[in-house]
Amino acid sequence: MSRLEISNPGTFLEGIHPDNILHHASTPRNPHLMTLLDRVRLVNRTNLEVSRIYTELLKEGKEPPVYEDSGIQIQLTMFASIVTPELKAYIEEQNEQSVVFSVDQLLILHYLLKHSKANVEGIGYITQSAKESAKNQLSELVRLGILEQVEAGKGYILSQQTSERLQSDFTYERNVSLDVERINILIMNVMKEQGKMTRADIQQMRGWNQQRVYREMLKLREQGLVESVGHGRGAYYRLRSD
């Protein structure tokens, strides 16, 4: 059996729907949802604990559950296949180090195993959370060294250490390379529009330090894409004219 589908007559209470059920306050006044979840023994009669279903499935390396409200019945679908077995082992290792992931953090890890990059808005959607809450969850994973920020803090990818544990080296290097390539294209577009950019301009635009600016511009110079003009504070970069 690849999936378990459970349906029950009725609808969610007003204000509850599949896109906010994860963090919605428990409401035992909803007999339809309570009966539905009780049938799979994932709740008790005093607490619906929707987040528990998410947590248990994600910890096993499975897809998160899917809730549907057709207007006449509620359906819960749970998938049996383990799609991220490496995540299950990783979570167990982290638990041994006293790192316990929240359900939102599990969803973030699950997402980043399938996608190269995430942003606050996207994570807010998949975790059914407000922007500030999503940002806090991402920041905590960065603090733990599990994620790292890219695109001057606007994007998030698995850190090299996490990627080495969960993915191949090629995947991590590809994600970082794609990010740097995108940034360099943006820099060259600005140079094309404005004619030039100083090292300070690039630092301000990308959040890089001086050494990082020098390294990245040196690569572009070696590729024959940009050139350095002048010295000292008056120096700047521009696109090569030949």
2 has a pLDDT exceeding 80: no
Give long-range contacts, CB 8 A cutoff, 24+ apart: 134-141. Answer: 134/104, 137/102, 137/104, 137/105, 137/108, 138/108, 140/105, 141/105, 141/108, 141/109
Please check whether residue 145 is in contact with residue 159, taking contact to mean a CB–CB distance below 8 angstroms: yes
Tokens of 188: 């060259």
30 has a pLDDT exceeding 60: no
Spatial distance between the Cα atoms of 103 and 91, rounded to a whole number of angstroms: 12
Which architecture does CATH list for 3-79? Answer: 2-Layer Sandwich (3.30)
- Strand partners for 226: 239
31 has a pLDDT exceeding 70: no
Residues 72-99 pLDDT 10s: 888 888 887 777 788 888 999 999 999 9
Q: Which of 55, 175, 127 is nearest to 140 (CA)?
A: 127
- DSSP state letters, 177-239: HHHHHHHHHHHHHHHHHHS-B-HHHHHHHH---HHHHHHHHHHHHHTTSEEEESSGGG-EEEE
3-state secondary structure of 16: coil
Q: What is the dihedral of CA 175, 177, 180, 181, to 10 degrees?
A: -110
- Strand partners for 148: 157
Among 4-8, 103-107, 138-142, 170-174, the minimum mean pLDDT is found in 170-174
User: Hunting for tokens 């404005």 — which residue is that?
Assistant: 194
Residues 164-182 pLDDT 10s: 888 654 454 555 554 566 6
Q: Does 179-239 match 3-79 at the fold level?
A: no
Average per-residue pLDDT for the chain: 81
Q: Where are the chain's structural domains?
A: 3-79, 85-166, 179-239
Higher pLDDT, 27 or 3: 3
Percent of the chain with pLDDT over 70: 81
27 has a pLDDT exceeding 70: no
Spatial distance between the Cα atoms of 1 and 156, rounded to a whole number of angstroms: 35
Please check whether residue 72 is in contact with residue 101, taking contact to mean a CB–CB distance below 8 angstroms: no
Residues 144-154 pLDDT 10s: 999 999 877 78
Tokens of 75: 């359906």
Please provide the CATH number assigned to the domain covering 85-166. Answer: 1.10.10.10
Please provide the CATH number assigned to the domain covering 179-239. Answer: 1.10.10.10
